[in-house]
Structure 1
Amino acid sequence: MHSEHASLFAAYHHLEPAEPGMVMARVSCVMAKNLLTLVRPDTELDAVVAGALQHSAREAIDLPVVGDMVLADSRGEKTMVVEVLPRRNILLRKSVVKDLQAQAIAANVDVVFVITCFGPDFNLRRLERYVLAVRACGIECTILINKADLVESAEIDELLEEIRGILGNVPIHAVSAHTGRGMDGLGAYATSGQTICFIGSSGVGKSSLVNALAGEEVMATSHNRHWDGKGRHTTTMRQMLFLPGGITVIDTPGMREFAPWIMDESQVSLAFDDLEELAAQCRFGDCTHTAEPGCAVLAAVDDETLDANRYEAYLKLVEQTRELQQRRTLRGITERKQREKSSSKALRKHLADKGRR
């Protein structure tokens, strides 16, 4: 890591440990659950997550993720990560394995590039889920539609208009990693000290876009399969790359499922800021935007200034958020009862054993 990539260290300078052997570093790669690569401005370290940190983590998202700033103890045979420092933000999605848990993708990100591509595999609903997930985390989001060299300009304009109707005011760029088309429009994001996270399905050209942004080949790429035009997996783990000009990129493997992880309705507001602006004009402060008179959101749907599909996506996300809250509450009650039952059983056994002595 060059000094131009180390601006985040300056923001955490006041947390730099004074104790000899203790270091502050950034997680650049998570190779397994507890095996990490850390970077400092002057070195790179292999590390493991300390047992105490593993046991104190209430959920998996409390453990180190790529992009995290951490404190590590380098005095033993192995460098041990002992603390995850406070995060500026964290990109989450709903776990595809554990229904009521979140999965952490990256931390301390300035902007997320949601990558898709023109062609038969384009899926607007999947793109919508990606964007909602990012915006619900309070992180700036930009859509890059790769392979613009394969379609006509009229088709590009038509698709961009459709996307804007569904996703609101999210910046969208039609680009081509192959020809360089549209890449100059990314200059506002690709500045020194920025951390950009790339997410998207496999085969959309994330690695090719990273190379195009770098101006040189920093990642291996693979050609599309000839029988269906889809790309192959290139990235196999989340990893941090340091590009010329001080740009830090977090590249991720292809993820077809990226359901938003939203625990309260304030996060829904982040994902639908345009609806929130309309909601401020509703007659009632507690308007649900479903049937109330004087609802500015419903009026916007009626006069088609708000796309009906976007409105429906909003209602669906609100419903899913409430359902998830209820399910997690019920699970919490069940787990508490199970702990109380186990404690009572252990106490009865202890008293019985004591009485036999």
Structure 2
Amino acid sequence: MAKKQKLSKGQARRIRANHQKRLQRAKESSADTQTSEFDSDNLGAQEPGVVVSRFGQHADIETPDGDVLRCNIRRTVTSLVCGDEVLFRRANVSDGDIAGVVELVEERRSQLTRPDFYDGVKVVAANIDQILMVSAVVPEFSTQIIDRYIVACEDMGIAPVLLLNKVDMLEDEDRDMFMAILAEYHELGYDIHLVSSHSGEGMDNLKAELVDKNSIFVGQSGVGKSSLVNSLLPDAEILTQEVSSNSGLGQHTTTVSRLHHLPSGGNLIDSPGIREFGLWHLEPERVAWCFKEFRQFLGGCKFRDCKHLDDPGCLLREAVENGDIAEFRFDNYHRIIESMADGRAGARNPRV
């Protein structure tokens, strides 16, 4: 008997992709079957609502009266995330846990996106006013991660707010070091908050920042996002996880994005932890523009194709030498550009 030929990586990837497509079609067909049961006189008039959570082909929709109903999602609704404003139809007679059907998503005022190797640019949240970027003293403080989030915020036109969490663990000399770094961001006009959900430091100022706004917390796992949410919303019962003593890394604790109402009247979306925030879907020129202090120098370099490294007549390099641009921000810019090339290569050749 001839030996069975081993599949190439490309063949295995195509087989798996086709299998996933068949599974997805089966799920959509099942969802359509459920939805069709509501396509008669069993559906009421269209009502407005807000998505508070999304579960596969279902979503929890909150009505203006505060009721939360689990609904099917029409196949014509191609994207639905926390914060979306929708029109849905309530079922006169519910089918198990399903109480209605989402039929239309209203135009978004804003949205946070991140690239995905398989899904392209993926929407994370909608209709948000500000993004609270959480860093912490442990497991690791990284200005590169901060600048990645800032680039995303600038690209989407959403205000970023920087939070340094777990400051109760800082010694005085360490606090001075962190303050010197954060001062660079403050000079650029970004709001900065030093907070601790353990000691309560800075929490009152943070609560004031959230009043009457739709906000989302982002940051690497282990920086204390869920602990902060628990402090802001003690009844939310968000799970928390200590940083691993072996690896020093945080563990993913939140598995599904969910919108919570704050006592102040604003809303907060708690989302799954993101270790990296890829930017490979952006052009290098766009990334440079997203560094606010670069803008006045862009387009003025001696050469049009200036890479802003050691190119003669580079205005960005001169600005760094003159102290007009922080050297660590300039270095982070180049790290982001390098990672974008790696990300695009990964997008072309995703892991099997």
Matched ranges for 1:135-146 at <5 A: 135-146=154-165
Match of 2:58 in 1: 35
**Equivalent AA in structure 1 for residue 80 of structure 2:** P
Match of 2:255 in 1: 236
Matched ranges for 1:193-272 at <5 A: 194-214=213-233, 216-222=234-240, 224=242, 227-228=245-246, 231-260=250-279, 262-264=281-283, 267-268=286-287, 271-272=290-291
Unaligned runs of 5+ in 1: 1-18, 58-62, 332-357
Per the TM alignment, residue 85 of structure 1 is displaced from its structure 2 partner at its CA by 1.3
Higher helix share: 1
Per the TM alignment, residue 278 of structure 1 is displaced from its structure 2 partner at its CA by 3.4
The structure-2 alpha-carbon separation of the partners of 1:285 and 1:79, relative to structure 1 and needing over 3 Å to count, comes to farther
Task: Determine if the alignment matches structure 1 residue 104 to structure 2 residue 104.
Answer: no
Task: Determine if the alignment matches structure 1 residue 313 to structure 2 residue 332.
Answer: yes
Matched ranges for 1:141-152 at <5 A: 141-152=160-171
* Ranges of 4+ aligned residues in structure 1 off by more than 6 Å: 319-328
**Equivalent AA in structure 2 for residue 116 of structure 1:** S
Deviates more, 1:230-239 or 1:35-44: 230-239
Task: Determine if the alignment matches structure 1 residue 273 to structure 2 residue 292.
Answer: yes
Maintained 8 Å contact 1:200/1:206? yes
Per the TM alignment, residue 254 of structure 1 is displaced from its structure 2 partner at its CA by 1.5
CA distance in structure 2 between the aligned counterparts of 1:45 and 1:310, rounded to whole angstroms: 46
Matched ranges for 1:153-192 at <5 A: 153-163=172-182, 165=184, 169=188, 170-192=190-212
Per the TM alignment, residue 184 of structure 1 is displaced from its structure 2 partner at its CA by 2.8
**Equivalent AA in structure 2 for residue 218 of structure 1:** A
SS at the partner of 1:74? strand
CA distance in structure 2 between the aligned counterparts of 1:320 and 1:227, rounded to whole angstroms: 29
Maintained 8 Å contact 1:22/1:75? no
CA distance in structure 2 between the aligned counterparts of 1:157 and 1:273, rounded to whole angstroms: 25
Per the TM alignment, residue 244 of structure 1 is displaced from its structure 2 partner at its CA by 0.6
Per the TM alignment, residue 218 of structure 1 is displaced from its structure 2 partner at its CA by 2.6
Per the TM alignment, residue 249 of structure 1 is displaced from its structure 2 partner at its CA by 0.5
| TM-score normalised according to structure 2 size | 0.72
Deviations, residues 45-94 of structure 1 (Å, cap 9, x unaligned): 211210233xxx4xxxxx11111112223357552222221111111112
**Equivalent AA in structure 2 for residue 79 of structure 1:** G
Q: What is the CA RMSD across the aligned residues, in angstroms? A: 3.4
CA distance in structure 1 between the aligned counterparts of 2:46 and 2:285, rounded to whole angstroms: 38
Maintained 8 Å contact 1:264/1:325? no
Per the TM alignment, residue 301 of structure 1 is displaced from its structure 2 partner at its CA by 1.4
Percent identity, please: 27
CA distance in structure 2 between the aligned counterparts of 1:247 and 1:71, rounded to whole angstroms: 21
SS at the partner of 1:125? helix
**Equivalent AA in structure 2 for residue 69 of structure 1:** E
Per the TM alignment, residue 267 of structure 1 is displaced from its structure 2 partner at its CA by 4.3
The structure-2 alpha-carbon separation of the partners of 1:255 and 1:38, relative to structure 1 and needing over 3 Å to count, comes to same
Per the TM alignment, residue 237 of structure 1 is displaced from its structure 2 partner at its CA by 0.7
CA distance in structure 1 between the aligned counterparts of 2:52 and 2:103, rounded to whole angstroms: 16
| TM-score normalised according to structure 1 size | 0.71
Matched ranges for 1:48-67 at <5 A: 48-53=72-77, 57=78, 63-67=79-83
Match of 2:3 in 1: none
**Equivalent AA in structure 2 for residue 102 of structure 1:** V
SS at the partner of 2:274? coil
Match of 2:114 in 1: 93
